Amino acid sequence: MNQARVLILVVGISCLAVGAMLGWVASVQMSHGNRDAVAAAEAARADREAASRAAVQAEGWARVANAAQTLAKGNNDQAQAAQQHAQAARQQADAARQQAREFATRAEKAAGRAAQIAAQAQKVRLATAGTAAAVAVRAPAIAAPRAAAAPKPRPNVAAKPAAPRHLVAAAVVSEESCRRAAIFERTAAKPSVSREAAYNASVSGIAVNAHCPEPERSLIGAYLLAQRASAEIALKNGDWKSDLSRSDRVLNDCVRRPQHYGPIGRSCRVRLTKNAKIRLAAH
């Protein structure tokens, strides 16, 4: 009996020991599990915080992208507006050039008509003078007083020297077409007129000058070519080099043969100097 009790006691104690050991092992495992759970919770919280920061950064970059897109759209609008303004300016410039060409054409036609009218008037004056001379020859003796009282030759208005700003302003010309061409040249030479107006005046003067007799025609034409070349340089239109070369040829001939051109050629050398300055300024 005692042995059986001892055996039962030993078995009970062993069971208690095994249970205690199993409980300790379970507690240890539970402790490790709790620590793992805490670590996992900390990791999850850290991930949530990182995700929150990433979301904030993403929102910031989205705002930057929106601002960049808005700025790009504004720049595109400005570029389109600038292109529209440039196109409108080109259209206005084309219209202004077309209008200038129309005005120049009208001026040339008007100058041609004026030259024709002047030529007809000259013919009428010559015919009237011839008729008066014939009447004076056929008249009886009482015509002598009338001959003494005959009208004096009309003074040549263009022969009056004007302010010697340039040659043609002081030129001695005898025909109406020469006088009108000289007026156009003086107009083109005025500093107060625009370059476009100077160009139109020189073109009209060249058209009228075609009816002027020599040597006035060549010399006035040389001055008109110089004025047109100066305007062409400013307007960037036409062959100014050819105009200046043609002007120089006539002026050089005037310097070599002053007796051929008479009083109107006294300032050819001055005009040559001005042509050289125009050419130098163009380069």
Residue 210 — φ and ψ, nearest 5°? -65, -20
Query: Band of the pLDDT at 135, cuts 50, 70, 90?
Result: very low
What percent of the chain shows pLDDT beyond 70?
70
Nearest to 171 by CA among 210, 21, 184, 151: 184
Instruction: Specify whether the CB–CB gap between 217 and 209 falls below 8 A.
Output: yes
At 115 the pLDDT is 55
- The one-character DSSP state at 169 is G
Q: Which of 40-54, 125-139, 236-250 has the lowest mean pLDDT?
A: 125-139
Contacts of 117 (CB under 8 A, 6+ apart): none
The full 3-state SS of 44-86, as one line of letters, equals: HHHHHHHHHHHHHHHHHHHHHHHHHHHHHHHHHHHHHHHHHHH
Higher pLDDT, 212 or 153: 212
At 160 the pLDDT is 37
**Rounded average pLDDT over 201-217:** 92
Query: Band of the pLDDT at 129, cuts 50, 70, 90?
Result: very low
Task: Count the Cβ atoms, other than its own, within 10 Å of residue 212.
Answer: 25
Residue 28 pLDDT > 80 = no
Higher pLDDT, 28 or 155: 28
Q: How many angstroms from the chain centroid is the CA of residue 109?
A: 29
Residue 207 pLDDT > 90 = yes
Instruction: Specify whether the CB–CB gap between 169 and 267 falls below 8 A.
Output: no
At 162 the pLDDT is 38
**Rounded average pLDDT over 173-184:** 83
Task: Give CA separation, 195 vs 31, 45, 198, 202, in Å.
Answer: 102, 82, 5, 10
Instruction: Specify whether the CB–CB gap between 275 and 226 falls below 8 A.
Output: yes
At 93 the pLDDT is 64
What percent of the chain shows pLDDT beyond 90?
30
Higher pLDDT, 112 or 20: 20
- The predicted model scores a pTM of 0.42
Task: Count the Cβ atoms, other than its own, within 10 Å of residue 255.
Answer: 13
Task: Give CA separation, 168 vs 52, 66, 99, 184, 269, in Å.
Answer: 91, 71, 29, 10, 13
Task: Give CA separation, 160 vs 83, 179, 249, 263, in Å.
Answer: 56, 11, 27, 12
Query: Band of the pLDDT at 191, cuts 50, 70, 90?
Result: very high
Query: Band of the pLDDT at 143, cuts 50, 70, 90?
Result: very low
At 144 the pLDDT is 33
At 148 the pLDDT is 37
